[in-house]
Amino acid sequence: MGQQPFNWRDKSVLVTGGTGSFGKQFIETMLADYSPRRLAVLSRDELKQSEMSTQFPAGKGSPMRYFLGDVRDADRLRRAFDGVDIVVHAAAMKQVPASEADPFEAVLTNIIGTKNVIDAAIDCGVERVFTLSTDKAVNPVNLYGATKLVSEKLTVQANTYGQSKGSSFACCRYGNVVGSRGSVVPLFKKQKINGKITLTDERMTRFWITLDEGVRFVIRSIENMKGGEVFVPKIPSMKMSDLAEALAPGVKKVSVGIRPGEKLHEALIGEDESRLVREFDDYYVLYPAYQSWSDEDIATDGNPVGDRFRYQSDSNGWELTQDELLKITDLD
């Protein structure tokens, strides 16, 4: 991405779901490399905030602030967003089985929560709002993916109401985060001790990205967003069977069958979206199909992709090797 003038030191930044894997890495990176004027965490778990504040303390001389609250609570968001310039919306219910078991809970957090973030941001004059999405939002087959697709649509079309008031909205999608809470990597590490790794299907492939790569991609996208984009990084894929062998070489692998709501392969860009996509050196941008908020076409850079283009984990062309996986999981 071409860098544009953007001074984080002048900004007040808030991240929803800030005590999660992404949020903690985002806070650490912001403090180390960008030094924003103010850096706030909003989340609903007081224990995690207490633990996090020992590493990133608030108080006199610190940019850190902590807000207890839930994205389901619109009034609390308006209070927390007062004076905020940039909101990174990372709060989500993201476990596929939990979303299938309690679907309306996922709707309340991932859809109604996103609507509340949008409304509060516009009411409080937040300059930029950036929503994290997932490959599971592309042609979704489970409720989690469906809620994140709706979250994307809400965020993009929020520009219709926001841009006239100085608020711009954009999103990003990326794949599985190596080592994040609830991911398969720590699961396989635990199973290795017991001498048996469970695979749902040996043919299964997934996109992979590290936490640091995900955070830095989000930061760069915020710097370059105009409003209405869905940013997609170019990242490697890997077969789950190869991942299991890399993490637990020689350990027995048992196929247990694909779980409800799972895909054999994931997509970051679907074929039906290709007409709206432009390619850059290390990322793609999906531009809005319906840009009602401005007569200016934001899709002016990059190269159009072909009409039959799709970005899918089994045909990615960039495969993560076992050695590369071991390096990024610190197991080599």
CA 96/CA 98 separation, integer angstroms: 6
- pLDDT at residue 124 is higher than 50: yes
Tell whether 193 is covered by a domain. no
CA 212/CA 229 separation, integer angstroms: 22
- pLDDT at residue 332 is higher than 70: no
**Number of structural domains the chain divides into:** 1
pLDDT tens for each residue of 223-232: 999 999 999 9
- pLDDT at residue 331 is higher than 70: no
Tell whether 195 is covered by a domain. no
Cα–Cα distances (Å) from 2 to 6, 29, 167, 212, 221, in that order, read: 12, 20, 22, 19, 10
Backbone angles phi, psi at 153, to 5 degrees: -60, -40
Our answer to whether residue 60 is catalytic in this structure is: no
| Spatial contact of 302 and 279, defined as CB atoms under 8 Å apart | yes
The average pLDDT across 52-74 equals 97
CATH of the domain at 226: 3.40.50.720
Give 254-260 contacts, CB < 8 A, sequence gap 24+.
254/196, 254/197, 254/198, 254/199, 255/198, 255/199, 255/200, 255/201, 255/202, 256/198, 256/199, 256/200, 257/200, 257/201, 258/200, 258/201, 258/204, 259/96, 259/97, 259/200, 260/97, 260/100, 260/142
Tell me which residue has tokens 């995900």.
214
pLDDT tens for each residue of 133-182: 999 999 999 999 999 999 999 999 999 999 999 999 999 999 889 867 66
From the candidates 11, 94, 136, 263, give the one annotated as an active-site residue. Answer: 136
Determine the distance from the C-alpha atom of residue 271 to the mean position of all C-alpha atoms in its chain, rounded to a whole number. Answer: 21
pLDDT tens for each residue of 259-317: 878 899 999 999 999 999 999 999 999 999 889 998 888 998 999 998 899 999 999 99
| Domain range enclosing 35 | 10-175+209-235+267-311
Query: Tell me, what DSSP letter sits at residue 63?
Result: -
Tell whether 190 is covered by a domain. no
| Spatial contact of 114 and 155, defined as CB atoms under 8 Å apart | yes
Tell whether 124 is covered by a domain. yes
Tell whether 20 is covered by a domain. yes
The average pLDDT across 65-74 equals 98
The average pLDDT across 2-25 equals 89
Backbone angles phi, psi at 302, to 5 degrees: 80, 175
Query: Could you tell me which residues come within 8 angstroms of residue 273 by beta carbon, excluding any fewer than 6 positions away?
Result: 138, 286
| Spatial contact of 39 and 55, defined as CB atoms under 8 Å apart | no
Tell me how crowded residue 23 is: count the other CB atoms within 10 A of its CB.
23
Tell whether 244 is covered by a domain. no
CA 48/CA 297 separation, integer angstroms: 43
Query: What pLDDT does 274 receive?
Result: 96
Tell whether 274 is covered by a domain. yes
Query: What pLDDT does 330 receive?
Result: 65
Determine the distance from the C-alpha atom of residue 216 to the mean position of all C-alpha atoms in its chain, rounded to a whole number. Answer: 11
3 confidence band (pLDDT: 50, 70, 90): very low
Tell whether 99 is covered by a domain. yes
Range with the largest mean pLDDT of 219-223, 242-246, 257-261: 219-223
| Spatial contact of 243 and 319, defined as CB atoms under 8 Å apart | no
- pLDDT at residue 247 is higher than 50: yes
- pLDDT at residue 186 is higher than 70: yes
